[in-house]
Amino acid sequence: MSTIAAISTPNAVGGIAVIRISGEDALAVGQRIFRPLGNKQVESMPGYTCAYGDAMDGETKIDDCILTVFREPHSYTGEDTVEISCHGGLFVSRQILRTALKNGAEPAGPGEFTKRAFLNGKLDLTQAEAVMDVISAKNEGELRMAETLRDGAAFRTAKKCSDTLLRILGGLAAWTDYPDEDIPEVEPENLLRELRGVRGGLGRLVENYDSGRIVREGVSAAIVGRPNVGKSTLFNCLSGCQRSIVTDIAGTTRDVVEETVRLGDIVLRLSDTAGIHDTEDKIEGIGIDIAMKTAASAELVIAVFDGSCPLTADDLSIIESLKGRRSIAVVNKSDVGNVIDEDVLQKYFIHIVYISAKENDGIEKLENAVKDVFAFNADCFSSATVGNERQRLCIENAISSLDKAVDAIESGEMLDAVNILVDDAESHLMQLTGEKITDAVVDEVFSRFCVGK
User: At 306, which CATH number?
Assistant: 3.40.50.300
Whether the upstream peptide bond of residue 36 has omega within 30° of 0, thus cis, is no
Decide: residue 381, CB within 10 A, 0-12 exposed, 13-18 middle, 19+ buried: buried
Query: In this model, does residue 340 exceed pLDDT 70?
Result: yes
Q: Is residue 135 part of a domain?
A: no
Instruction: Check if the beta carbon of residue 7 is closer than 8 Å to that of residue 80.
Output: no
Is the torsion defined by CA of 228, 234, 235, 240 positive or negative? Answer: positive
Q: Who wins on pLDDT, 157 or 76? A: 76
Map residue 182 onto helix, strand or coil.
Answer: coil
Instruction: Check if the beta carbon of residue 115 is closer than 8 Å to that of residue 446.
Output: yes
Do 346 and 219 share a structural domain?
yes
- pTM for this entry: 0.66
Sequence-distant (6+) residues with CB within 8 A of 52 are 36, 37, 64, 65, 66
Q: Who wins on pLDDT, 414 or 17? A: 17
Query: In this model, does residue 175 exceed pLDDT 70?
Result: no
Query: In this model, does residue 112 exceed pLDDT 60?
Result: yes
Per the structure, the count of domains in the chain is: 3
Angle value at C-alpha 322, between 316 and 325, nearest 5 degrees: 160
Instruction: Check if the beta carbon of residue 62 is closer than 8 Å to that of residue 55.
Output: yes
Do 150 and 96 share a structural domain?
no
For the stretch 3-46, pLDDT in tens is 999 999 988 899 999 999 999 999 999 999 999 998 789 999 99
Q: Which of 376, 401, 425 is the last residue of a domain?
A: 376
Q: 10 Å Cβ neighbour count for 134?
A: 15
Do 102 and 202 share a structural domain?
no
User: At 440, which CATH number?
Assistant: 1.20.120.430
Do 362 and 239 share a structural domain?
yes
Domain range spanning residue 329? 215-376
Do 347 and 251 share a structural domain?
yes
Average pLDDT of the residues in 283-299: 81
For the stretch 364-405, pLDDT in tens is 898 888 888 877 655 555 566 777 888 889 999 999 999 999
Q: Rounded distance, CA 169 to CA 95, Å? A: 56
Do 180 and 156 share a structural domain?
yes
Q: Is residue 33 part of a domain?
A: yes
